[in-house]
Structure formats: C-alpha cells, structure tokens
Amino acid sequence: MNRSAEEWRSHLTEEEHRVLRENGTERPHTSELNAEWRDGVYTCKGCGKELFESPSKFNAECGWPSFDREAPEANITQIVDRSHGMVRIEVRCSGCDSHLGHVFPDGPTETGTRYCINGVCLTFQPTEG
C-alpha cells in the first residue's frame, strides 16, 4: 500500500501513526483489545489485512495483546530488530509495511511463540452470529 507521509497522517491518529509508521510502542495495559475475548479476526489498522484469529489469542500478562500463531492467510513479515541494544524479531504487516510489535520464543502454548502486538495497530472484527 503506497501512501504518502501526509496520507498516513490523515488516515491514522497521532498515537497510531507513532506506533505503526515510526516503530513506536504503546504504553502497556492501555489497549482495549487486551480484554477482547470474543470470536473474530484481528486486522491491520493501516491497511485492513488479516493478521491473527481469536483462537490464537492468550493472556500473557505482558500488557499487550498476545497471540501464539499468525492467521493461516496472515500478512506478516518478520525482520531482525537490533534497536535499543537488543536483538529481537520485529513483526510488520506485509500489506503496508507497518510496525506491529515483536515475536518471542517464550509462549506458554504448544507453539512456544508469543506475538506481542501493539493493540493500537489492530482492528478487531467479531464473528457474526
């Protein structure tokens, strides 16, 4: 998705822009999606591409929505992030190249994976019915 910097600023709130486009991090425990447990799909706030499904969400008690796997048709790219004196795996939307969060090999489920995602980067679409 090709948008100019001005188009991104008009499409996103200031906080959304800071996190999605400037690789920021929202404050922990501030996302309403931490308490979202209905069935549905989590999509990218920047472009609407599917990222995660509700069965993969779990409470990691880390302050951000956490998932143990990507949706089957997920639009996620993983890249090495060497910022802040650490080596981590950054998670980005492959549809619009927005920063989403990071993935860690410390998840409590059978996947052993914890996608720690900024809630401000997500839109939740509940399953009808």
- Give pLDDT tens digits for 53-82: 999 999 999 999 999 999 998 899 999 989
Q: Model confidence at 84, in pLDDT bands (50, 70, 90)?
A: confident
Identified catalytic residue from 44, 93, 96, 116: 116
| Distance of alpha carbon 106 from the chain centroid | 17
Domain ranges of the chain: 5-126
Q: Residues 123, 98: contact at Cβ < 8 Å?
A: no
- Does the domain at 5-126 match CATH 2.170.150.20? Answer given as yes
Q: Residues 65, 33: contact at Cβ < 8 Å?
A: yes
Residue 62, number of CB atoms within 10 A of its CB: 14
pTM: 0.94
Q: Residues 40, 52: contact at Cβ < 8 Å?
A: no
The predicted structure's pLDDT at residue 129 = 63
Determine the longest span between alpha carbons in the chain, in angstroms: 47
- Give pLDDT tens digits for 1-49: 688 889 999 999 999 999 999 999 999 999 999 999 999 999 999 999 9
Active site residue 62: no
